[in-house]
Amino acid sequence: MNHVRAFIAGFLATLIFHQGLFGLLYLAGVAPAPPFNLSPTAPLGVPVVLSLAFWGGVWAVALWAVLSRFRGAAHWALAIGLGAIGPSAVALLLVFPLKGLAVNATIVVGALLLNGFWGLGLALIMRVLGGPGQRAPA
């Protein structure tokens, strides 16, 4: 059951935290495109933001397997750190090259920032959903 909660939390963290911060960066003139991209993505034609949220859910299941073992400051630091590093590394070292997208320092910093905020969102949402080691809401 915790896998389902983790997937839902990761999906929601993508839509709320990742895309929320992306929207703020866009409004500040830092991000080149608006959030919540509904353009179809290959190969299934699913909107980009839903594909991103799906993968956020998948990452959350893996990340929560580690995060659920920690408490206190270590829990929150790992949520941000692992959230920033894991998805960013895969995106920048695998996905971007496969899609022929350029990677530069701005992209790297943006990815780490967005994905770290996603990791924080995952931990917060799991807390609300009553993840492992958390009390379920009354």
Read off the tokens for 42.
């290959």
- Give the model's confidence band at 131: pLDDT under 50 very low, under 70 low, under 90 confident, else very high: low
pTM for the structure as a whole: 0.90
CA distances from 21 to 5, 44, 49 (A): 23, 27, 14
Q: What is the mean pLDDT of residues 69-91?
A: 96
- Give the model's confidence band at 6: pLDDT under 50 very low, under 70 low, under 90 confident, else very high: very high
Q: Given a cut of 60, is residue 132 above it in pLDDT?
A: no
Q: Given a cut of 50, is residue 37 above it in pLDDT?
A: yes
User: Following CA atoms 127, 129, 135, 137 in sequence, which dihedral angle do they give, to the nearest 10 degrees?
Assistant: 120
